[in-house]
Structure 1
């Protein structure tokens, strides 16, 4: 079943930190011996992916500390797990992007309908942390540092191919992030020839931070692409 393939994909994710630039480390919630994350992954993917049907593919950037970095599930914080997926957890985290994503999910027709049609993945399915000048480890995107991107480029191409195969090798993929994420993925795809077309939509965090007053407009825009 698809759920088993997805879980295998996440369990196999590994990136050698020796390849990364100084002051950058990998954030891998799938190999940190965390039984709660393991339970959440199994319950979530069993609930929505216990079939062999193809899905559309959505590509975010990479896991963040407060979303997938905590739960293991892209764009899904603990309030979303409880309210929309009926999954309880001892983890407590809230992530702005998740709030918008699950507004889209509800507008689409609910979690079963949405995840029956779509799989949310990432340009890079492992996240990064950067040790900044203030002595703090902060969220770091794969494109925030050119030598980081070059170090993980091959890894990203490999994981994009796998995610496409999981979804039934769709000709198109939706990209969340009309700026750098779309720019880098477009160049990467031109080289690797994985998708015939990439369709950009604003990143959910951008919508919630800068366009909250136009929330209904963005919900309509997302639904027009995701549920034409």
Structure 2
């Protein structure tokens, strides 16, 4: 048994035989238990691949979701590897879709950790919140006011993060982003060129998802008279992209 357990860890570490391990874990509770234990492994590739397998099994074993939610939150805060953070965030997104009532109570906790955490925590939590927003934007209702205040923040990172969250929500249903549009349009005149360029990118992205907004955004961007070469480049690329979509939709 020790040799088999070693092989499972070795395979996870190298990203090998993952399908085989998935099948084993589905039919052998001891293998599933081993995968759960390996969530505490020191090697991030082991943890990442263990999560991916457990989350596939969770689709037919909903009893796994609650303990996994707590474990993932713990892993999210200490993750040092972006691929692992992305896998954890993806798992949060899956749970937001499959078990929204579980994730709903976690949203304020995640957001509080974003607000008071160090730089690494902020980045990690933002990945998770974006995936949740994408999968089930209704769950973000409790922190909509926070997004509004972030868009008006003096802090650049707050504004950029809020724009990312809103873009993610727009991918699921456009109605959730409507209240934010006036604030995003205001950011086109922000004092920071990076914020202005990011606001352009956000509006262009949202306009690709909605025909009515597309016409409004094209007009706004054509009227924009910015002195920044970064912003002008972003505007030019955005207008070209939207005009191309307009051409396709009208033909």
Judge same fold: TM > 0.5, yes or no: no
Would you tell me which structure has more strand in proportion to its own residues? 1
Would you tell me which structure has more helix in proportion to its own residues? 2
Larger Rg: 2
Indicate the TM-score class for this superposition, using the shorter chain for normalisation: under 0.3
